[in-house]
Amino acid sequence: MEITLTGITTTGTPHLGNYVGAILPAIEASRRKDVRSFYFLADYHALVKCHDPALVHRSRLEVAATWLALGLDVENVIFYAQTDIPEILELTWMLTCVTAKGLMNRAHAYKAAVADNVADLDKDPDKGVTMGLFCYPILMAADILMFKASKVPVGKDQIQHLEMARDIAARFNHLYGEHFVLPEAVVDEKTAVLVGLDGRKMSKSYGNTIPLFEPEKALRKLIMRIKTNSLPPEAPKDPDTCTLFELYRAFASTEETTAMRARYAQGIGWGEMKQILFEYLNDRLREPRTHYHDLLARPDHIQQILQRGAARAREYSAPFLAELRHAVGIRPLGT
Ligand code: TRP
């Protein structure tokens, strides 16, 4: 059976851009019966980026609740927190010991951090670079290789990490025998990239996001803030350069989208369009939002779901790690 695996970083509060770009397609895929899927909270990875314990804790809860509220099928997929799988860290070390430092030197995220420092002449090139950041791709390789995933749905920015995982796996296989499956990145070119409040790509780093489960009033306020041009209400408008239309289209059916195009051609006032968009999104999000807040109020229930997922995941990781230990020469003395 095909095995797919995807990691969800637990930093920040999920927004509409995450929803249409990553969460929605992944949740749809979670219902497929012909693949074995692993979905996990990459909370060891969160420690690389975030040293605020309260935020790390909160974000794990919020991200898990978001996926559950939106209908992740946890009977079908194995859903767990990376930090509940101790085998991952042991594998990370085994992989670290066969990974060339030169390979890590080439990682985009590390190189970008160094380039920023070098641009600032009096800075140490490695200022602010932790070993966690430097070795991030090895931890990610362990996540993937542990479950023999052959397909890994990721964003474009993660392609290099998949190439590194393959390199590391091949090196290990060469030294110790064919234990790992070489994984491939699956990048969906069709997934929408949403624009944010200011017209740039919706991203936490630009501070232009619309959080998914914002209360109704706050959602309305954010939508009213979306940048538009100064055409009068009756003027025909171009839907394809309009953030409001983009957002509408990300959620609407083909027929609804076509009908809305016609309204743009006739001329639609920005105030009216914003109200339509607000009502549309609010209708779609109302039910999962309620579910989300119910879940947030029951952290023990979420914890239980994750624990169950971890137990299922460990049915694969524990025996596989025993095999790997044996392969590298860590076995009981006298055998
Ligand atoms: N690095 C990924 C990201 O930032 C998250 C991640 C961690 C991941 N481990 C993974 C994704 C394993 C796929 C497979 O989005």
- The answer to whether residues 318 and 258 belong to one domain is no
**26 ligand 1 Cβ < 6 A:** no
What does pLDDT average to over the chain?
94
- The answer to whether residues 16 and 73 belong to one domain is yes
- The answer to whether residues 118 and 241 belong to one domain is no
Please give the pLDDT value at position 20.
Answer: 85
- The answer to whether residues 105 and 140 belong to one domain is yes
State the total domains in the chain: 2
List, in order, residues 6 or more apart from 101 with CB less than 8 Å away: none
- The answer to whether residues 320 and 279 belong to one domain is no
> Residue 241: is it exposed, middle or buried by C-beta count within 10 angstroms (0-12/13-18/19+)?
exposed
Residue 73 has pLDDT above 90, yes or no: yes
Q: What value does the mean pLDDT take over residues 161-167? A: 98
CB 65 within 8 A of CB 212: no
Residue 189 has pLDDT above 80, yes or no: no
Cα–Cα distance between 95 and 288 in angstroms, integer? Answer: 40
- The answer to whether residues 308 and 290 belong to one domain is no
Give the residue, out of 143, 151, 157, 191, with the most ligand 1 atoms within 8 A of its beta carbon, to mutate for a pocket test: 143
- The answer to whether residues 34 and 151 belong to one domain is yes
In a domain, 202, yes or no: no
List the single range of 17-31, 168-182, 185-199, 284-298 with lowest mean pLDDT: 185-199
In a domain, 109, yes or no: yes
Cα–Cα distance between 247 and 59 in angstroms, integer? Answer: 25
**48 ligand 1 Cβ < 6 A:** no
Query: Tell me, what CATH number does 260's domain have?
Result: 1.10.240.10
Per cent of the chain over pLDDT 90 is 82
Cα–Cα distance between 202 and 208 in angstroms, integer? Answer: 6
Q: What value does the mean pLDDT take over residues 298-321? A: 98
Annotated binding-site residue numbers: 9-11, 17-18, 143, 155-157, 194, 201-205
Query: The whole model's pTM is what?
Result: 0.91
How would you list the strands of the sheet with 2-9, edge to edge? 78-81, 35-42, 2-9, 151-153, 184-186
Question: Where residue 32 falls among pLDDT bands split at 50, 70, 90?
Answer: very high
C-alpha of residue 162 to centroid of ligand 1, in Å: 9
**6 ligand 1 Cβ < 6 A:** yes
- The answer to whether residues 274 and 317 belong to one domain is no
Query: Tell me, what CATH number does 117's domain have?
Result: 3.40.50.620
**144 ligand 1 Cβ < 6 A:** yes
Structural domain including 183 reads 2-192+298-328
Please give the sequence-ordered ranges of beta strands (E in DSSP) within 135-273, or none if there are none.
151-153, 184-186
- The answer to whether residues 175 and 305 belong to one domain is yes
**138 ligand 1 Cβ < 6 A:** no
- The answer to whether residues 222 and 156 belong to one domain is no
> Residue 49: is it exposed, middle or buried by C-beta count within 10 angstroms (0-12/13-18/19+)?
middle
Beta-ladder partners of 36: 3
